[in-house]
Structure 1
Amino acid sequence: MKLAIEWFLNPDHLPIIVAEAKGFLKKNGISDFELIVPTDHYDGLQDLIEGNIEFATNEPLHLIEQYHTEFLSLGTYFETKGGVIMKTTSFEALKKGEKIQVATPVSNEKTNGIGLEIIKRYGAKQGVNIKPSQIEFIAKDFYLIKHMKEGADAGWLYFYNFEGIEAKHENMDVIHMDSDSAGFANFCALDLFTSKSYYQKNKEKVNAFVEAIQEAIEFIETNPEEAYTIYYAYTKEESTPLMDDILKATTKCFSKDFESLSEKELPILKFFNEIGITDLSEDKFKKAFLN
């Protein structure tokens, strides 16, 4: 059984690490498990469609952006705040009609369009009319705070439990343009995916895997310090004040009660439909869930 994560291994994947390390997978009959950690950006969802792997993690927006009839979301196991993080001085520049650069790990028309909408909505709430010509998206990688320190004005597709905490450690004066401050359906999360074909033939295995991840999340909630130790041992990373704080913030983002419900994620689809990112219908979207 293989699970591919969406990018580099980090605390967002702690339940998967704990489920393997604590034997929750083996206890549920899953003795042969491989966690696929890419060295570069890797489209696990495509491998899922092709039947090369059984599970994948990815953001809910990719369920919409890359929609395929084979996609089956088993629910959102991780959710944080996020969106665009911007230097306060750069927002002041926008107010003056100046141009800024936004670093982003995935630069394309659709994802850039979402980032632009978030910036515009935040601006509107502050009484500022921001023009698309003022925003330039620059393709980088996920190390958004690093790029902001090196000159970028903002980072798009940031997660608060990671880049938000890092910005605090760097004493950066930033604005968090998230679902609350900018007014949009929150999609800064990770779903657990399988394919419909695999699920239909292996319902018991899929349910057993989900139960193991849920048990791992419960373990993290009740034994956070041990979970941190497991993370460092598994990843071979050294404990640092920054990573310690990222781990602490991340443990508050997991939900052991996650389940495959379209109702929870429909607001995201409606938001993307509203801003013209997709024309995916609600009926098709709902078919990517069990309920």
Structure 2
Amino acid sequence: MESLKFGLEWYLNPNHLPFLVGIDKGWFAEVHLDVEMIEPEAHFDAIDEIYKGNMDLAVTEPLHLVQDRLQNHDVVGFSRYLQSDSGVMFLKDKGITRPRDMIGKRLTYPSAPGPTGLAFIKSLIEADGGHCDVNDLIPINKGFYHTDALINDEADIAFSVQQHHELIEARERGYEPGFFSLKEWGLPAGGNLILVTSREVFSKRHEEIGRFLEVLKRSNEFIRNNREEAKEIYYQFTKKDPMNAIEAAIVNATLNYFTEDFSMPLDYFDHLQKWLKQSELTDSLLEPDEFWTNELLLEKSRGGVNSGN
């Protein structure tokens, strides 16, 4: 039995159900992996934790992968497991009907007043034919409590919102949210959760990581075909109340986004890094294969990863 530690990007939530299924069903043990799931107390830098040897793999978003690699960190992404959509949420009674209506609005996002959230909103406004300086926006930091910030009139718009989470929450709380999708306006699409590690760990633990992905694919397939049992596993593991209507609605929505296709095209990462440069958030550009590899997925399709026996 080989130990493999992986870190979540945030507190345990429905996005992490495939890992819970793999643990509950004993599938990781079947492929001789003793997995440890690390739930952060705060939103930590996963790559630093991998460098320190505190974990082997981490869940993150493509944006963070590209930013880390452009800063010369030894990091590579190798598998997607959740594919949703992300963008900007607002309440429809605020008079916002199109992206250029966001000029002059109060914007909440987790890294505010950092430049990335402001740059995305600026790009959305300009994609809609508006002219925007980042100084035309008012950054507000309400952490990840996007829905609360809008309902409590602490912000007008919220960025880094997941289609299957905050929009569902707002509706369940009796509000009518609007949503601007990044990808629908030609910007680098969010909404993907991916696995990353260092190139050193990827090379040294290639076989174990391949087995980890086999279980993850099996878990995603199980969720698609056994929705009720998958929900039972989630509630048993997290001890959350299945009668909580908001949580139940988010869980139900999330079940639809665990993808069959774990690969990602290199063009996706090229688009993202070029947007970062165009937005003056980086001075560097790299070859797209510096960010991502589908190597393990191709090996799996050829039957090249063994079960650890």
Is structure 2 residue 171 aligned with structure 1 residue 178? no
Counterpart-to-counterpart distance in 2, 1:142 and 1:133: 23
Classify the secondary structure of the residue corresponding to 1:102.
strand
Q: How many correspondences in the alignment?
A: 286
Contact 2:80–2:195 (Cα < 8 Å) also in 1: yes
| Deviation per residue, 1:212-233 (Å, 9 max, x gap) | 1111111111111111110111
The verdict on how the C-alpha distance between 1:290 and 1:164 changes in structure 2, with shifts beyond 3 A counting, is same
1:78-227 equivalence runs, <5 A: 78-88=82-92, 89=94, 91=96, 99-121=104-126, 124-125=127-128, 128-151=130-153, 152-227=155-230
Give the Å deviation of 1:94: 9.2
Contact 2:147–2:169 (Cα < 8 Å) also in 1: yes
- After TM superposition, where is structure 1 displaced by more than 3 Å over at least 4 residues in a row? 92-99, 127-131
Unaligned runs of 5+ in 1: none
Give the Å deviation of 1:257: 2.6
Give the Å deviation of 1:100: 2.2
Q: Which residue of 1 aligns with 2:277?
A: 273
Unaligned runs of 5+ in 2: 295-309
The verdict on how the C-alpha distance between 1:256 and 1:154 changes in structure 2, with shifts beyond 3 A counting, is same
Counterpart-to-counterpart distance in 1, 2:291 and 2:256: 27
For 1:25, give the aligned amino acid: F
2:30 to 27, 41, 47: 27
Report the TM-score when normalising by structure 2: 0.84
Counterpart-to-counterpart distance in 2, 1:100 and 1:46: 35
Classify the secondary structure of the residue corresponding to 2:218.
helix
Contact 2:19–2:216 (Cα < 8 Å) also in 1: yes
Q: Which residue of 2 aligns with 1:282?
A: 286
| Deviation per residue, 1:87-114 (Å, 9 max, x gap) | 3315379978973211212225332233
Percent of pairs with identical residues: 26
Classify the secondary structure of the residue corresponding to 2:32.
coil
1:76 to 59, 80, 84: 80
Give the Å deviation of 1:161: 0.3
Counterpart-to-counterpart distance in 2, 1:175 and 1:260: 28
| Deviation per residue, 1:258-279 (Å, 9 max, x gap) | 0365344332223323322223
> Could you tell which deviates more after superposition, 127-136 or 44-53?
127-136
Classify the secondary structure of the residue corresponding to 1:26.
helix
> Could you tell which deviates more after superposition, 140-149 or 86-95?
86-95
| Deviation per residue, 1:195-254 (Å, 9 max, x gap) | 211121121101011111111111111111111110111111111222222112111111
Counterpart-to-counterpart distance in 1, 2:199 and 2:101: 51
1:63 to 56, 62, 65: 65
Q: Which residue of 2 aligns with 1:4?
A: 7
Classify the secondary structure of the residue corresponding to 1:209.
helix
Q: Which residue of 2 aligns with 1:258?
A: 262
Report the TM-score when normalising by structure 1: 0.89
1:36 to 17, 32, 38: 38
Is structure 2 residue 54 aligned with structure 1 residue 49? no
The verdict on how the C-alpha distance between 1:95 and 1:71 changes in structure 2, with shifts beyond 3 A counting, is closer
Counterpart-to-counterpart distance in 2, 1:289 and 1:44: 16
Classify the secondary structure of the residue corresponding to 2:259.
coil
Classify the secondary structure of the residue corresponding to 1:40.
coil
Contact 2:61–2:192 (Cα < 8 Å) also in 1: yes
Give the Å deviation of 1:149: 1.0
For 1:270, give the aligned amino acid: K
Counterpart-to-counterpart distance in 1, 2:271 and 2:7: 26
